[in-house]
Chain A
Amino acid sequence: MAIKTEEMVLNMGPQHPSTHGVLRLELILEGEIIQKVTPHIGYLHRCFEKHCEAMTYPQIIPYTDRMDYLAAMYNEFGYVIGVEKLLGIQVPERVEYIRVIMGELQRIASHLVAIGTYGADIGAMTPFLFAFRDREVILNLFEITCGARMLYNYIWVGGLSHDLHPDFVRLTREFITYFRPKIVEMNELLTTNRIFIERTANVGILPLETAINFGITGPMLRGSGFKWDLRKDDTYSVYNRFDFNIPIGEGKVGTVGDCWDRYYVRILEMGESLRLIEQALDQLPEGNVTSAIPKRIKPPVGSVYTRVENPRGELGYFIISNGTTSPFRVKVRGPSFVNLGIMDVLCKNHMVADVIAILGSVDIVLGEVDR
């Protein structure tokens, strides 16, 4: 009898603790070594783009929240910038500053989830809970601002739904002084942990050329050592008025572009976001946040593509207007959607356990992948 060997097909997901939602990865294994990874997505498809065509421009804002539900503020931010460009309106300075503050708080909150769940994926549960504890403070800040903790509907076309709470500035400053030492704590607990480095350094190396060709953006691209941040390189809102650095991966413990670099870029970005928030709070002008909200939003015929630096990368909105109150077509270029496309390249010849480490470092949100 001839001995027959065949590769093992392992389905990871859609119900799996560390696929970060309903993602299905079809792994083809030779022993524990990955031969091929095929992501299957669409389990959370809610026809966002079809919905948009039946709704007015302001009605779409709550739906954008539900795409990347860990960075809802930023989704609204990108969308309203697009509509404002189509309308050609200017928003008051105070609105821009508050948007930046909210966006950066959201970035910290989102990175905390990314870092925490990454720790949990690698097997360390405690950093996960520490990260969620700190995120809770940010969510409380959002809650006093607009009443919601996850899906805000706060940033409106031409303005904001509410002005800041009187205590907001004080509480945010308190948060900044509280949070700085927590980053150090996280570094001691996880970043410099020997086992953590063993698991993430030199794993899933993403060369820069490949990254650009695959359209990778955000911390992943910066982890590969490319100084590219839309806040600086294609600036929007009032980001050009602040002084902040763009951290990039340097291969401190391994090779440039490995999982550890991508992780560490997120850690450093949290510190930069704190600096941004501090500066924005210092410069925060007075003013009315609702004065520029148009009564009726009816952009002229035309199309626009706007993009913002979401915590996960380049979030783009392509909006076509046909001169009515509803958009003719809205296409979302989600960073998670594009970043997920590289899984096969990253995972090849790694082990099953590395798939988890790599997927965690890509940091996807399935709500946005599937829309």
Chain B
Amino acid sequence: MKSAEEIFNILKENFNDNIKELVKQPVDPYILCDPLKINEISLFLLSNEGLLFDNLMNLSGVDDANGMSTTTGSITTIEGGTLSVYYHMESTKFRHKVVLRVSTPREKPEASSVALVWRSADWHEREAFDLLGINFLNHPDLRRILMPYDWEAGYPLRKDYANPEFYHGMKVPY
């Protein structure tokens, strides 16, 4: 059983600058990491003898909506800022949990995939790709999952998403 600080310190020792900071908040503190190194960090967390984070409970993409927001009429567009991915993991042996967070620029959202570390991340990453457009590098099968495969109107969970007028000739806003 290790606390978030201890885990943060272990990670800091091993990954130096790729681990940015430990953000404290009322309930779950989280560790901010480098999006392109997250697969290595994950592999370390999974395989380290003292950590053994063998269960990825959840992986969620989030639109931070912290960029420049401009509204023209009913359409809002956001420029700049970041999209984030949160990783909630636990160890079934030591019973400790940790939350990692990576932030990636909105214009080119990329994070390395952890689907080969935890297979459960496969569908979660596809979902984040589908709904937020985060591109997971080296994902074995990055396709849309909840939306139709031919959906072209963008990524619904982004805060500046607008419904398309038509989908296959069907009127969308009813």
Contact = CB atoms under 8 A, between A and B. Distances in A.
Interface of A: 41-42, 45, 47, 49-50, 53, 85-86, 88, 210, 212-216, 226, 228, 233-234, 300-305, 307, 314, 316, 318, 320, 328-329, 331, 333, 337-338, 340-342, 370-371
A337 B123 contact: yes
A316 B58 contact: yes
A316 B58 CA distance: 8
Interface in B51-99: 54-58, 60-63, 86, 88, 92, 95, 99
Contact of A316 (B88, B99, B122, B131): B88
A320 B27 contact: no
Contacts of A210: 119
Interface of B: 25-28, 30, 54-58, 60-63, 86, 88, 92, 95, 99, 118-120, 122-124, 131, 144-148, 156-157, 159, 161
Given A41-B145, A318-B58, A213 B26 contact: no
Given A212-B54, A314-B57, A338 B123 contact: yes
Contacts of A233: 95
A47 B27 contact: no
A85 B27 contact: yes
A340 B127 CA distance: 14
B139 to A, nearest CB: 13
At the interface, is chain A mostly helix, strand, loop or mixed?
mixed
Q: Lowest 9 CB-CB distances: which A-B pairs, in order?
A: A215-B120, A331-B60, A42-B146, A333-B58, A302-B25, A304-B27, A45-B146, A214-B119, A341-B123
A215 B121 CA distance: 8
A88 B146 contact: no
Taking each of A53, A233, A234, A341, which has the highest tally of chain B beta carbons within 10 Å of its own beta carbon?
A341
Contacts of B58: 305, 316, 318, 331, 333
Contacts of A329: 60, 62-63, 157
